[in-house]
A and B are shown apart, each in its own frame.
Chain A
Amino acid sequence: MFKYFPHTKADIESMLKTLNISSIDELFKDVPESVIFNSDYDVPSFMSESELRNHFAELSKKNQELTLFSGLGIYDHYQPAVIDAVTSRQEFMTSYTPYQPEISQGTLQYIFEYQSMIQTLTGLEVSNASMYDGTTATAEACFMACAVAKRNKILISSTLNPNTVNVIKTYLKYKELEWDFIAEKDGVVDIEDLKNKLDKDVAGVVVQKPNFYGIIEDYEGFADLIKANKSLFIVNADISTLGVLKSPKEDGADIACGECQSLGMPVAFGGPSLGYLATEKTYVRKMPGRICGYTHDLEGRRAFVLTLQAREQHIRRSKANSNICSNQSLMALFATIYLSLMGKNGLREVNNLSYQGAHYLYEKLLKTKKFTDPFKKPFLKEFTLETNIPKEAIQTALLEKGIFGGIGLDVFGEQYEGLINFSVTEKRTKAEIDNLVNILEGLS
């Protein structure tokens, strides 16, 4: 017997008898003999629960938990204890997609609340039920722009995170759509280059704020230019920062998208996290993914359902706007609980505390004279500096003290050589920041 398989010998015999067969193998009679796998799998033998715990304890020793001054899309924010307590409830964790609304109101309601929160943060009219991550949400936003504008080219700002750029490029390449880059100037997207590249093929323009360097870009004038060209304006923004920064709606965006990991999700070696996607109602029928709507049951009680499903793959098949089937539902619950706990004031405080820590570190590093700021532009919780200290020396010195930060941006491409990133969240203490500065000050 095995703990996940309840069948006893007697159960199996009785079931076989009902089926008039003598062994389970007979049920596989349609399978050609030549493809039946008769050997043992070359995987390890089973483990008891305590053996498994010991095994993971050993594996854990090969990982090193570090004090994180690293960001670039994945941030070490505070995680309220309430979240794990709620998201681990089996009613949320083990249920399927809410296709039976009568027994799925828990999931449907939090999706509605999630959509409401993304709506207010982005300022746009409608959010879907969430996407896999910020990179794929942005790629889907590009598809959406091409479908709405009935054009086939996307302009990508050169100040986007290269991970996002790479994913957009893969998606566009295979769908046989085109793209071009808008140049950067002094660390921000160059509006003059945008003007030059807006032509009748451009379906959408993608920008990011805060951008790859951490700079808060100002999109004054962008929306007018883009709209005049009948293209769509796509703003990718770290959702947490929208607690204080101008909303995509206020920027004139048609589509907002990006990463939600910053809403207190674990860094989790990169996943699972959560992508969001929001737009105006005019475009909702071209929007990918699930959407939850408000309604009532036949006794007039408040109810929530998945709606406008005619857009989706299980109905439209090859005519669907996207192949996405799931959302990252449980992570959307995570985001909803986080934003419920934080409210507008908490979100503002998180941003302010991160801002303060980041600016304190920034000033201290400049004072060492070993770092310079090539851009001198406004930033929030992360920033980019230039230095002559080899990045390997920085990394080694910090790792010795259990710190990870000062990421050399050249891991994303040679053009970034000499640039390093620091990120500070509200979790970093003054002692940790001072310690970081002391270590770096001693390097040359």
Chain B
Amino acid sequence: MINYNKMIFELSNSERIGYSLPREKFSEFHINQLSDNLLRKKELLLPEVSELDVLRHFTNISIKNFGVENGFYPLGSCTMKYNPKINEEMAANKAFSNLHPLQPTSTTQGALEVYYNLQTYLSELSGLHEFSINPYAGAHGELVGLMVIKAYHEDRGDFKRKKIIIPDSAHGTNPASTVVCGMDVVEIESNELGRVDLKKLKAVLNDEIAGMMLTNPNTLGIFENDICEITKLIHEAGGLMYYDGANLNALLGKVRPGDMGFDVMHINLHKTFSTPHGGGGPGSGPVGVTETLAKYLPNPRIKKLDDYYFVENSSTALGQISSYFGNYLVALRAYTYIRTLGKENLKLVGPYATLNANYISKALRTAYELPIKGYCMHEVVFNGLINKDNDVRTLDIAKRLLDFGMHAPTVYFPLLFPQAIMIEPTETESKETIDDFINVMHKIAIEAKEDPDKLKQAPTKTPIRRTDEVFAAKMMIFSYKDYLEYINNRG
């Protein structure tokens, strides 16, 4: 029922229930024995519905979503690869999901082995010495990685290093994480090829630089070919190199961040290691560091002695950044993925992803403006249509794609190009799917010329059409309670 338009609260009918709880065992006690001043007075506005009501409601709203199994999902920088079913089956294993994090380690050796081995695999795949899987997401990993950098400098008694160099092409989380970590951002402009400008980099180096954050390939999908020079310059200036793992998928099988001279990095397990995005989380953002920096990794740590795994809290750690071991069941999915692919197939991830992106780049450049020539890595960025007549903008192209049953690419990012369209096909897409996408993109380019209104009106085949975002920001209706008040006031 694609036209289904109820909120769960609107199905409510008092006295209906959707649960079955054990019967009372101890009637001599009752919550009303708590003194009145501790209990809530205000009635709760929660639905009262049957079990089937709940299932139908959520099933009906689910079909208004678009998942990786619906169709092509070329969302740049997000690595929307297939999320294997076996990962889910393993994560649903009660022998893992029923473990309390405070249980004695003698009763959680299997869980700890998975955690420890994943740390080891990530180290090997990235060329860094040690990992912590505690950070909950990519942005959380960035924050923790920056804390490592800050802890390192302060530990050496060098308190003036509080500046982090970030290229203007970086993800917004980079500068935001820097500020949350109590440091300042030094932004440097990219050169005309979209890469780090060595001259401009040299110009900002001094003894206040704590380090540099870099995505490589960068957000334009371009490999920073001066990477060895960049890391050398930063190291000579006394700073550390941070690798934003957002685009690691391009390099898997080909290049390891540690080998390029990076000291600290995070990995998005929900990108490169196939764990589901979940509509915006839970993700997982493990942080890896060099041997020198390992002592700063956050508590608790998982270690191994002989064949026994144990939990350690170290006084040299930067502190604690999560309640326990991060999003453990997400990590377990990534472990499953690595074991499924094995060393043989992990080698193919980056090359296949890169082949697909270049194939798209080549096929679309006759209709779409390719601002940076040459080979791209796992994703390609266009700057809207070549033919800019008819005022067809990137947003219109993105919305029209939805009508063809494909997810839109990332749009208006990176900020370097005003009409940016960022396309990332990933290695799990077939040539047929990619050819279909290419055909659709060309069809859209022709429509832009012949029937631009079709694009301006798009999408028309989706559950809803373009939304009124100004109304949302102005009215600030954030809950069902707000909604009821709005309806009442409207009369």
A38 to B171, CA, bound (A): 30
Contact with B along A91-120 (1 / 0, CB 8 A): 111111110111111110110110111011
A contact residues around B341 at 8 Å (CB): 2, 4, 46
Interface assignment of A240: CB less than 8 Å from any CB of chain B = no
Given A106-B61, A291-B478: A82 in contact with B55 (beta carbons within 8 A): yes
| A65-73, A191-199, A227-235, A367-375: which lies at the interface | A65-73
> Besides the contacts A63-B109, A174-B182, what 5 more A-B pairs have beta carbons closer than 8 Å?
A43-B121, A63-B99, A169-B319, A298-B467, A313-B139
Interchain residue pairs with CB less than 8 A apart (12): A45-B343, A49-B86, A74-B100, A97-B277, A104-B66, A174-B181, A244-B34, A249-B42, A272-B330, A339-B47, A347-B44, A356-B26
Are A109 and B399 in contact, CB atoms less than 8 angstroms apart?
no
Would B26 and A70 count as touching, CB distance under 8 A? no
Q: Is B354 an interface residue (CB 8 A)?
A: yes
Please tell me which one of the listed residues A88, A130, A407 contacts residue B88 in the complex, with CB atoms under 8 A apart. A88
- A388 at the binding interface (Cβ < 8 Å): no
Which residues of the partner chain A approach B95 to less than 8 Å between Cβ atoms? 59-60, 63, 65
Q: Is the CB of B459 within 8 A of A102?
A: yes
| Listed residue (A35, A55, A73, A119) with the most chain B CB atoms within 10 angstroms of its CB | A35
Most chain A CB neighbours (cut-off 10 Å) among B66, B75, B222, B362:
B66
Query: How would residues 24 to 64 of chain B score, 1 for a CB under 8 Å from any chain A CB and 0 otherwise?
Result: 11111111001101111111111111010011011101111
* Min distance, Cβ B242 to any Cβ of chain A, angstroms: 14
A23 to chain B, nearest CB (A): 9
B323: Cβ under 8 A from any A Cβ: yes
Q: Which of B43, B81, B280, B327 contacts A98 (CB 8 A)?
A: B280
Within 8 A of B (CB), among A234-272: 242-247, 249-250, 259, 266-272
The answer to whether A102 touches B464 (Cβ under 8 A) is: yes
Q: Does A294 count as interface, using CB distance less than 8 angstroms? A: yes
Determine whether B462 belongs to the interface, using a CB cutoff of 8 Å to chain A: yes
Q: Tell whether A269 pairs with B324 under 8 Å between CB atoms, given A96-B75, A175-B180, A299-B465.
A: yes
| Interface flag for A325 (CB, 8 Å) | yes
Q: Are B18 and A269 in contact (CB under 8 A)?
A: no
For the complex, is B476 an interface residue (Cβ under 8 Å from A)? yes
Nearest-neighbour CB distance to chain B for A77, whole angstroms, equals: 10
- B472/A295 in contact, CB under 8 A: yes
Q: Say whether B416 faces chain A, with CB atoms less than 8 Å apart.
A: no
Binary interface profile of A, 287-306, with partner B (CB < 8 Å = 1, else 0)? 00011111111110111010
> A115 touches which one: B83, B318, B479 (CB < 8 A)?
B479
B293 at the interface (CB under 8 A from A): no
A357 to B102 alpha-carbon distance, docked (Å): 21
**A-B pairs under 8 A by CB, number:** 682
**Could you say which residues of chain A place their CB within 8 Å of the CB of B59?**
86, 89
| Cβ-defined contact, B172 with A314, below 8 A | yes
A320 at the interface (CB under 8 A from B): yes
Q: A116-B9, A120-B481, A333-B279 are in contact. Are A378 and B35 (CB under 8 A)?
A: yes
Q: Chain B residues with Cβ under 8 A from A316's Cβ? A: 172, 176
Is A341 close to B, CB under 8 A?
yes
Asked whether B70 is an interface residue with its Cβ less than 8 Å from the other chain, the reply is yes
Q: Inside 8 A of B113's CB, which chain A residues have their CB?
A: 59, 62
Bound together, the chains give a CA A336 to CA B54 distance in angstroms of 10
Q: B137 in the interface, Cβ–Cβ < 8 Å?
A: yes
Least distance between B361 CB and chain A CB atoms (Å):
9
CA distance A329 to B98 in the complex (A): 21
Instruction: Decide if A136 is an interface residue (CB 8 Å cutoff).
Output: yes
Tell whether, in the assembled complex, residue B347 and residue A343 are in contact, meaning their CB atoms are under 8 Å apart: no
Q: How far is the CA of A166 from the CA of B408 in the complex (A)?
A: 41
A176 to chain B, nearest CB (A): 4
In the assembled complex, the Cα of A85 lies from the Cα of B88 at a distance in Å of 12
Is B37 within 8 A of A218, CB to CB? yes
Report Cα–Cα, A291/B43, bound state, in Å.
24
| Cα of A27 to Cα of B428 in the assembled complex, Å | 18
**A151-195 to B contact mask, C-beta < 8 Å, 1/0:** 000000000000110110111011110000000000000000000
Query: Contact between A296 and B467 (Cβ–Cβ < 8 Å)?
Result: yes
User: Known: A41-B347, A269-B325, A426-B22. Is A294-B475 also a contact (CB below 8 A)?
Assistant: yes
Q: Cβ of B92: which chain A residues have Cβ within 8 Å of it?
A: 84
The CA of A103 and the CA of B73, in the complex, are separated in Å by 12
Nearest-neighbour CB distance to chain B for A390, whole angstroms, equals 15
Stretch at the interface among B142-150, B233-241, B384-392, B445-453: B142-150
Chain B residues with Cβ below 8 Å from A249 are 42
Question: When the two chains form their complex, are residues B172 and A297 in contact, meaning their CB atoms are under 8 A apart?
Answer: no
Query: Could you say which residues of chain A place their CB within 8 Å of the CB of B418?
Result: none
Q: Is A435 an interface residue (CB 8 A)?
A: no
Chain B interface size, as a band, is 35 or more
* Inter-subunit contact A218/B38 (CB<8 Å): yes
Contact B172 A105 (CB under 8 A): no
Which of B8, B102, B124, B469 is A43 in contact with, Cβ under 8 Å? B124
Whether the pair A270, B44 counts as a contact (CB closer than 8 A) is: no
The answer to whether the Cβ of B283 comes within 8 Å of any Cβ in the partner chain is yes
List the B side residues contacting A326 at CB < 8 Å. 137-139, 280-283
Interface string of B68-103 (1 = CB under 8 A from A): 111001010010111110101110111111111111
Within A1-60, the residues touching B (CB, 8 Å) are 2, 4-7, 11-12, 14-16, 18-19, 24-32, 34-37, 40-47, 49, 52-53, 55-56, 59-60
How far, in angstroms, from A12 to B430 measured CA to CA in the complex? 10
A94-B67 in contact given A18-B362, A47-B342, A100-B408 (Cβ < 8 Å): yes
Name which residue of chain B comes closest to A216, CB basis: B38
A176 touches B182 (CB 8 A): yes
Interchain CA distance A314-B173 in the complex, whole Å:
7
Contacts of B477 in A (CB 8 A): 293-295
Q: Does B200 contact A (CB under 8 A)?
A: no
B206 interface residue (CB < 8 Å to A): no
Specify which of B61, B255, B399 is in contact with A36 (CB 8 Å cutoff). B255
- The yes or no answer to A401 lying at the interface (CB within 8 A) is no
Q: Which of A49, A96, A123, A325 contacts B279 (CB 8 A)?
A: A96
A130 to B280, CA, bound (A): 10
Residue of A with least CB distance to B401: A100
Name B18's contact: one of A105, A173, A342 (CB within 8 Å): A342
Q: Convert A188-213 into 0s and 1s, putting 1 for each residue whose CB lies closer than 8 angstroms to a CB of B.
A: 00000000000000000000000000
- Which of chain B's residues have a CB closer than 8 A to the CB of A359? 26, 29
Interchain CB contact (< 8 A) of B343 among A40, A78, A113, A319: A40
B198 is an interface residue with CB less than 8 A from chain A: no
Q: Does A429 contact B (CB under 8 A)?
A: yes
A112 to B299, CA, bound (A): 34
- Tell me whether B182 and A6 are in contact (CB under 8 A): no
Within B141-185, which residues are at the interface with A (CB < 8 Å)? 142-143, 146-147, 150, 171-173, 175-182, 185
Decide if A384 is an interface residue (CB 8 Å cutoff): no
Q: Which of B28, B327, B465 contacts A271 (CB 8 A)?
A: B327
Shortest Cβ distance from B374 into chain A, in angstroms? 7
On chain B, the residues within 8 Å of A4 by CB distance are: 81-82, 84, 340-341, 345, 427-428
- Do A341 and B51 form a contact, CB below 8 Å, given A105-B463, A268-B329? yes
Q: Which of A40, A102, A301 contacts B402 (CB 8 A)?
A: A102
Whether the pair A360, B29 counts as a contact (CB closer than 8 A) is yes
Q: Within 8 Å CB of A277, what residues of B?
A: none
Contact residues in B for A317 (Cβ distance below 8 Å): 172, 175-176, 185
Determine if A121 and B44 form an interchain contact, defined as CB atoms under 8 angstroms apart.
Answer: yes
A322 within 8 A of B: yes
CB of B188 within 8 Å of the partner chain: no
Any chain B CB within 8 A of the CB of A415?
no
Nearest CB in chain B to that of A8: its residue: B431
- Nearest chain B residue, comparing its CB with the CB of A16: B355
Inter-subunit contact B69/A94 (CB<8 Å): yes
